[in-house]
Amino acid sequence: MEENEDAFFVLLFGVMAVTAALASVVQLPGIVGAFLAGLALNEAAQNKPAAEKLGFFARSLFIPSFFLVTGFLIDPIVFVRSLIDNLWLAVSIVLALVVGRCG
């Protein structure tokens, strides 16, 4: 089945659905289940013809959906208040990221 690109792609989506169902059965948080499913699918699709299709779906559908759902979970008032209360921490994290990226 690995050489038939379409069948392997459908199989990967089936594995993803089963992984999501199992994650909810064992009461894992959704983000943990999605992360584990992503790791499993990435490992299974390496060097396979369906890897490009899987990457396209991940970049165009799954990753934007993740950011939208995560964004809706954030309370803007609490976020701004915590930034103000912990400004030194936020600035040091941003500086560490910039230094780490440039260095």
Distance in angstroms (rounded) separating the CA atoms of residues 22 and 28: 9
CB neighbourhood size of 50 (10 A): 22
pLDDT given at position 2: 63
Contacts of 23-31 with C-beta under 8 Å, sequence gap 24+, read 31/70
Residue 71: its H or E element: helix 63-73
In three-state secondary structure terms, 44 is helix
Chain CA centroid to CA 7, Å:
24
| pTM greater than 0.75 (yes/no) | no
pLDDT given at position 46: 79
Chain CA centroid to CA 35, Å:
6
In 3D space, the residue among 64, 67, 76, 56 whose CA is nearest the CA of residue 13 turns out to be: 56
Residue ranges in the chain whose pLDDT is less than 50: none
